[in-house]
Copies of this chain bind each other. A is one copy, B any other.
Amino acid sequence: MARNKHPEETVNLILAVAFRLFMEKGYEHTSIQDIINNLGGLSKGAIYHHFKSKEDILVAVTDQMTAESNQMLAVIRDRSDLNGKEKLKTIFKESIQRPVQNDIFTVAPNFHNNPKLLFSLLHDTIDNVAPNYILPIIKQGISDGSIETDYPEQLAELILLAANVWMNPMIFDSSEEESYRKFMIFSQMLQGFGLDIVDSEILDRLKELTSIYQKNK
């Protein structure tokens, strides 16, 4: 392992191993030593060269998880060929169609052991994703007439809280049937705001994902 030549690769390896262990054992029950034991010969010093503490690693892991997702959101937010409602629909499609979702569902992760990860996800959702990605789209939708609400900030938060937290199988362990029923209520909620964005293609993919997750539990 050429840790000095390719520091980015070392960091990515540490984060990948840490992510897997946090998911499998829980953050609280994973030690720095556990991470080292799974790094194929990397020393404790090499880890501490990149991260001051286990909490530092956790922050980097969650940052990496959200960075990719935010990149996808930014691309859709900045498209000029879609109205506000179409952008929301595209986001939901892309969110559940990315191949990485299969991996996340395959790890059979367990946020139940990870109050800090959940906390971080919850606050990132409300403090960052809602205002920077979903709010501009809802505001566009108000301008172009495709979305109707007097409270765009709060609608952005409520949609994300339901989609990213409540419907997240990493947080609330749902059966395939329960996930489907959550999605149906979510869809009914969106319709109440004039947002008919759920179609059969989205529902089929959702069933496929929950099935993958259940098999790997």
Residues of A within 8 A of B (CB): 112, 115-116, 118-119, 122-123, 126, 149-151, 153-155, 157-158, 161-162, 165-166, 172, 178, 181-182, 184-186, 188-189, 191-193
Q: Which of A119, A154, A157, A193: most chain B CB closer than 10 A?
A: A154
Q: A115-B116, A151-B181 are in contact. Are A191 and B189 (CB under 8 A)?
A: no
Q: What residue in chain B is nearest A184 (Cβ atoms)?
A: B151
Q: What residue in chain B is nearest A112 (Cβ atoms)?
A: B123
Q: What residue in chain B is nearest A117 (Cβ atoms)?
A: B115
CB <8 Å contact, A184 and B154: yes
CB distance from A104 to the nearest CB of B (A): 20
7 CB contacts below 8 A, A to B, read A118-B119, A153-B178, A154-B181, A154-B184, A158-B162, A189-B193, A191-B192
CB <8 Å contact, A158 and B166: yes
CB <8 Å contact, A119 and B115: yes
CA distance A43 to B23 in the complex (A): 40
CB distance from A59 to the nearest CB of B (A): 13
CB distance from A169 to the nearest CB of B (A): 13
User: What's the number of copies of this chain in the assembled complex?
Assistant: 2
CB distance from A207 to the nearest CB of B (A): 16
The 7 closest A-B pairs by CB, nearest first: A192-B192, A115-B119, A154-B185, A115-B115, A151-B181, A154-B181, A151-B185
Q: Please pick, from B150, B161, B191, the residue contacting A161 in the complex, using a CB distance under 8 A.
A: B161
Cβ of A182: which chain B residues have Cβ within 8 Å of it?
151, 154, 157-158
Cβ of A150: which chain B residues have Cβ within 8 Å of it?
184
Q: What residue in chain B is nearest A127 (Cβ atoms)?
A: B172
CA distance A182 to B155 in the complex (A): 8
CB distance from A206 to the nearest CB of B (A): 14
CB distance from A172 to the nearest CB of B (A): 6
CA distance A158 to B123 in the complex (A): 18
Cβ of A149: which chain B residues have Cβ within 8 Å of it?
185, 188
